[in-house]
A and B are shown apart, each in its own frame.
Chain A
Amino acid sequence: MAIPEYDVLIVGSGASGGMAAYTLTKRGLKCLLLEAGPSVDFAKQRVMKPVYELPYRGLGKPGKLPHVLQANEFNANQWVDEQQVPYTHDPKTPYNWVRVRMVGGKSLFWARMSFRLSDYEFKAKDHDGFGENWPISHADLAPFYSRVEPIFRVSGRKEGLAQLPDGDFIPDESPDSEATKAFAASAGKQGIPVTKIRRSLGKGAWASSFNLLLPDALATGNLTIVPNAVAREISVDKATGKVTGVHFIERGSRREMHAKAKAVVVGASCLESTRLLLNSKIANSSGVLGHYLCDQFYMNSSVVAIIPELKNGAGARGGGGYIPRFRNLRKDEKHNFIRGYALDFNTGGTPDPRYFGSWGEQLRKDLESVRGAAFSCTSMGEALPRYENKVTIDKSVVDAYGIPVLHVDCKYTDNEYNMAKDAVDTIGEVCHDAGWEVLNKNPKFYNPGYSIHEVGTCRMGDDPKKSVLNKWNQSHDIKNLFVVDGSSFVTAGSQNPTMTILSLSMRASEYLADEAQKGNV
């Protein structure tokens, strides 16, 4: 059987790899996409079960996924098995690396929060002098955000805020609930804006590359998807210095295979992409590959309050919203941290029983009286990109496919701790001023990684000595190698990253197609 020749080999089928396939195939390039996990038939892969039929009554098999706090006993098998594909870290500085391997990747399971980054992120160094600016601005990426948003059907309301650029939304014209209005009024007194949530509606059950990108790419006739292909190493032609393809392990048989292409686009997720480059020993003349790992710290239930008007079955008048970053937008602000945080909130729920000092019948009554009357918010704050937060290859451990694993070395510092405290104190005050009863304030965030918004480690920049990629997500060292996922970020921002990942991937792929046309790759 003749092996076809491919223009581009794409590693990964999630948001970034899927978008590369979508863009490149529409431009007429023949693409081969390798996905480490299976192509899942969701109707067969999932069965309805009552919780009592699960061996652990929903509490989960102890120790199965120690780092995946999002896992429960129903969905435990959807995540990457930590025993099969381990990683290492110092026990004192745990890192929660959450992974999915199947066609569609993590885009099958994301929370769909869909925001743009602003020039407060792209040009962060200009505001506070820390770190580096991105080599691009919002204006450079805006045309691509504007093409991505309609594909993912992002709903939102135009708010006119510089720190949260408006997009091409499906207008969210739903009225704000009374509780949301009360919260917004109290927040407004402190100059804190409250917006609608911006969310990808997708189509049907999904808002994923699985249903929004890959089918269109396949329809061009230019895409070949190979599931169960675990990329191990990118091959390089020593004579030209260009990449020639990818060595991969077939998941079922464990056979080693090699596929060729004229260019390689890596979109395997932030840390898997960097792991692949590190294991390939390429694209690191700068020495910063693996460094500047960052994300957003994450605290759910940061502030939990009771809304008196909703108590004792007053009726479900819930609703929620988003509080975009409001700190350090002016250079003359004085706080004990730089950058900022954002929150999303909900009203109308029932608080967790842990907040009540009662039990038995009294706890039942306590919960009954506040059913549907709770306010709760989740904070996400920008963790600073620091050189010392990094991933390296741990040569002493290999995964089930014989591939050396990552060692993650990442911790938060006072900037993040101070920011978290400010978040709960400030929002606690807003609730209190609204006349609500603050039940709990929690300034403790989860381990780094928990937000599943890990970015950096393969960052872009204009200076090849300080960055791995140029402003087109193209390797400074190897012109036919592109990395199009969150690893290319220079800063994390406080916004969820998926819209930016998709837009960067689309922009990089357009550039690659242009360059290929000119014979430059």
Chain B
Amino acid sequence: MNLKRRRFVQTLAAVTPAIAAAQQPAPSPAGGPSQTGPGGRGGFGMMEDTTKIDVTPADAVARMVTKFFNPDQFAALEKLGAIFMPTMKGAPGAIDAQAPQFLDFLLSESLPDRQKIYRTGLDGLNSQAKERFHMTFAKLSDEQAVQLLEPLKKPWTYDAPSDPVEHFLRVAKQDIRTATTNSREYVMASGGSGGGGRRGGGGTGLYWLSLDQA
């Protein structure tokens, strides 16, 4: 873990419970009868209705385990993440936001077409790195790595580029950005303003529950 990331994770640990507490009513004293039940009725049943338990999201205590990409592919994706979305103006970058780990999860559940774009693209990027610099993409210096990203400078077209690496780079640039700006880390660090939320301000939106039981 690099220094910046460690510092960020510490900040997150400090911030999460405060936000959680602010969003929930104060818990009842442990073990005691409810003091706040409507009509002073209190009792066991009412306690069950009103007690709120303070909980912590999994991301604050654990890291995602990768399972889709092989080690060389994942290392290349991390390198790309650090280049595409570095820490900027104090906002967490792709690595802080665990964007590569998230994409590993997303791709593990994606349709074969999408999986192929990523696997072929990352393999291609590693091949190009070996051909030109005799090492994998992850081991390149930033100056070397960006030389392989030149295709991104071509004008954007609706049709995907026919070259698989070019196609992948375009997809990854967008996905890494969204995976970063929609992360818990990014949204919290930016004061809830978010960045890539597809709905509403502050990275929040109205979520539709399933209509199956409606």
Contacts and interface: CB of A to CB of B under 8 A. Distances in A.
Interface stretch (A54-62, A111-119, A383-391, A498-506): A54-62
Contacts of A442: 157-158
Contacts of B206: 46-49, 74-75
Interface stretch (A91-99, A185-193, A233-241, A350-358): A350-358
Contacts of A76: 208
A101 B211 CA distance: 9
Interface residues of A, number: 44
A444 B156 CA distance: 13
B83 A354 contact: no
Contacts of B109: 61-62
Nearest to B202: A50
B198 to A, nearest CB: 5
Contacts of A39: 214
Given A40-B214, A51-B205, A61-B109, A359 B152 contact: yes
A75 B208 contact: yes
Given A52-B187, A357-B153, A62 B110 contact: yes
B67 to A, nearest CB: 15
Task: Give the one of B170, B186, B214 with max A CB within 10 A.
Answer: B214
A392 interface: no
A73 to B, nearest CB: 8
Given A46-B208, A76-B208, A359-B83, A59 B175 contact: yes
Contact of A444 (B159, B192, B196): B159
Contacts of B155: 357, 440
B208 A444 contact: no
Interface string B168-183: 0010011101110011
A74 B199 contact: yes
A519 interface: no
B208 A51 contact: no
Interface stretch (B26-34, B71-79, B84-92, B127-135): B84-92
B100 interface: no
Nearest to A100: B211
A44 B182 CA distance: 25
A354 B156 contact: yes
Given A48-B205, A75-B208, A354-B156, A360 B86 contact: yes
Nearest to A60: B198
B15 to A, nearest CB: 13
Contact of A58 (B173, B196, B208): B196
Contact of B111 (A38, A62, A443): A62
Nearest to B176: A359
A258 interface: no
B149 A359 contact: yes
Interface string A130-141: 000000000000
B196 to A, nearest CB: 7
B174 A354 contact: yes
Contacts of B186: 52
B209 interface: yes
Nearest to A56: B106
Contact of A51 (B158, B159, B177, B198): B198
A186 B197 CA distance: 35
A interface secondary structure, majority? loop
Given A51-B203, A74-B208, A440-B155, A59 B170 contact: no
A51 B193 CA distance: 11
Given A72-B198, A354-B174, A62 B203 contact: no
Interface residues of B, number: 51
A46 B177 CA distance: 27
B101 to A, nearest CB: 11
A280 interface: no
A521 B145 CA distance: 76
Contacts of B156: 354-355, 440
B10 interface: no
Given A48-B204, A50-B187, A52-B184, A77 B209 contact: yes
B102 interface: yes
A58 B197 contact: yes
B44 interface: no
Interface in A11-69: 37-40, 44-54, 56-59, 61-63
B114 interface: yes
A42 B109 CA distance: 30
A57 B152 contact: no
A59 to B, nearest CB: 6
B182 A51 contact: yes
Contacts of B153: 357-358
B86 A361 contact: yes
A56 B207 CA distance: 13
A303 interface: no
A53 to B, nearest CB: 8
B182 A57 contact: yes
Task: Give the one of B89, B153, B177, B203 with max A CB within 10 A.
Answer: B203
B149 A54 contact: no
Contact of A47 (B110, B209, B211): B209
Interface in A409-448: 440, 442-444
A48 B205 CA distance: 6
A45 B211 contact: yes
A102 interface: yes
A364 interface: yes
Contacts of B182: 51-52, 57-59
A44 B211 CA distance: 11
Interface string A190-203: 00000000000000
5 contacts: A57-B183, A58-B198, A63-B110, A102-B214, A360-B84
Interface of A: 37-40, 44-54, 56-59, 61-63, 72-78, 101-102, 353-355, 357-361, 364, 440, 442-444
A-B residue pairs, 10 tightest by C-beta: A357-B153, A38-B214, A52-B184, A444-B158, A77-B208, A74-B205, A62-B110, A57-B182, A49-B207, A46-B206
Given A50-B204, A74-B207, 11 more contacts: A45-B208, A45-B209, A48-B206, A49-B205, A54-B207, A59-B182, A62-B106, A62-B114, A101-B211, A357-B154, A443-B158
